[in-house]
Amino acid sequence: MNLEHEIVQDLYPLYVENDLSPSVKTAVDEHLKDCEACQKFYETGEKTIQLTDMEKPFVSKSLDEKIILKMKLNRLRLLSVVLAGILFSIILTDYINEREQLFMATDGYYDVLEQMDIVIEAVKNKEQMGFESYEMGRFIEYNNALKENMNVIEDYSRNSTEFKLILNTQKLNEMLKVMKIRYNQGRWSETDEAAFQALKKDIQSHRQDFREAYEKTHHGYSSYLYTLDVKEIDKFYENVNSLSYSYTRFHKLPDQIKPLKESELKNRIADALDINKGEIELVKESPINNLYVYHFENKNGFGGEIDAITGQITHYNGDTGPLSDGPIMKEGKAEEKARYYLEKIYGKDIKLEIISLGFNYHSFSDDSRYKVYSFKAIPKVEGYTFFTPLETETFLHVNARNGKLESFYHNRHIPSFDKLDQVDLTASFNNNGDKQAVVIYSALSGNFELVYMKPDLEHFEEGKFISAKTGLEEKVYLDDL
């Protein structure tokens, strides 16, 4: 019978009193023969089992490493939680600050929309306008503040809109000035009134729609969760940009101008520039930069831009082949080529005076073999010169060796020359002083007009053009500069 240490020691009192059965006593004696610890206990009565005699638990080295690794991971988790909390606090603080900046922007934006009503009404007041530039400045300020403080959802929505909440304030200012002049001159028409009412309606409707945003951003803690309806807001920018464009450029309403189809544009490009129609690729430009303008290219990557309203090619860069040291053609021959290209682009009915500008005018290259004849084309109307400000004319460059069209630039201040032959040359008002008679494209009528002006170029601003027909102030049209 094998007994454990604890049993032998527990039997000690019975052993001493001789109360054990013979078999158990024999088992204890057998154990005491081999166990020094129990012998000592039986001799002294003290329990002194040595640790060395006990079995030591085995702990593997890999288990130690796992425990240490687990402790490190717990510390990393704790650190991650702390850092995540700090990061969340920073993000939340930034978000709250941005939202509060947005709330302030909605205040100013909502107020300036109300002031815009006053700006528009000033068109029909006898007093001179002047504060419209200030209000336009405020509009731009608060508009920018709205865009700068949008959240991720709003910013994504804005980037997917057509006009991206950008208002062409230059054209809108020009529209208001033209309206003011026409109203004061007694030239107010149905088109003016319709444009005036449309602009008022757009402003008032936008302010009414924006009122929800104004109220939602002043509604306590729930305001921080409110998201602007950016696509709905962008409709206002689309309406006003389209209206100011059509009114200032053509003196028409947006629904009175119709862009040409892409197939029609390709036909015009192919006919004017001798490009295979099937090779032409059209890409609509962003309306923010160029409303109704398409970029075109041929298969070799050469091309330009075309206006979808007028069908006018506004510029072109062509492929004239590799540079060479071949002979230079005579200037007269190059001028014939230039006239050929102009007739292809504008048609033979447009009378153009072609003026030679020599070699490489406003066109440069580091290669000495680069030679182009440069020309500018000035329309003529029964002997009258056509005037545009800042020396902006129609230019073209012809390769001096092979006669191919290297580049062409249409005068950007003139939509097209199509109606140039319809100018009313009646001069009921006599010329005074040193003024000369010229033809301009008028911002007041959206057409060509015969006017008197001082000959030096610094006098193209307001009040410097007088209608030869009425004697009233005229205003030259200026594209965005």
Mean pLDDT of 265-272: 95
The lowest-confidence range among 45-54, 113-122, 366-375 is: 45-54
Tell me which residue of 286, 177, 284 sits closest to 237, measured CA to CA. Answer: 286
Q: Are 386 and 379 in contact (CB under 8 A)?
A: yes
pLDDT at 237 over 90: yes
432 against 248, higher pLDDT: 248
Instruction: Name residue 283's beta-bridge partners.
Output: 295
Angle between helices 230-250 and 190-216 (to 10 degrees): 160
Instruction: Name residue 409's beta-bridge partners.
Output: 315, 395
Are β-strands 384-386 and 313-317 bridged in parallel, bridged antiparallel, or unpaired? unpaired
Position 371 confidence tier, pLDDT thresholds 50, 70, 90: very high
Mean pLDDT of 423-441: 78
Mean pLDDT rounded to a whole number for the chain = 85
pLDDT at 113 over 80: yes
Q: Are 335 and 377 in contact (CB under 8 A)?
A: no
DSSP reduced 3-state for 390: helix
Q: How far apart are CA 157 and CA 142, in angstroms?
A: 19
Integer distance in angstroms from the first to the last C-alpha of the chain?
A: 114
pLDDT digits (tens, 9 = 90+) for 199-212: 999 999 999 999 98
pLDDT of residue 20: 73
The lowest-confidence range among 151-155, 318-322, 439-443, 453-457 is: 453-457
Mean pLDDT of 343-349: 90
Give the tokens for residue 62: 């890999």
pLDDT of residue 421: 79
Q: How far apart are CA 257 and CA 446, in angstroms?
A: 12
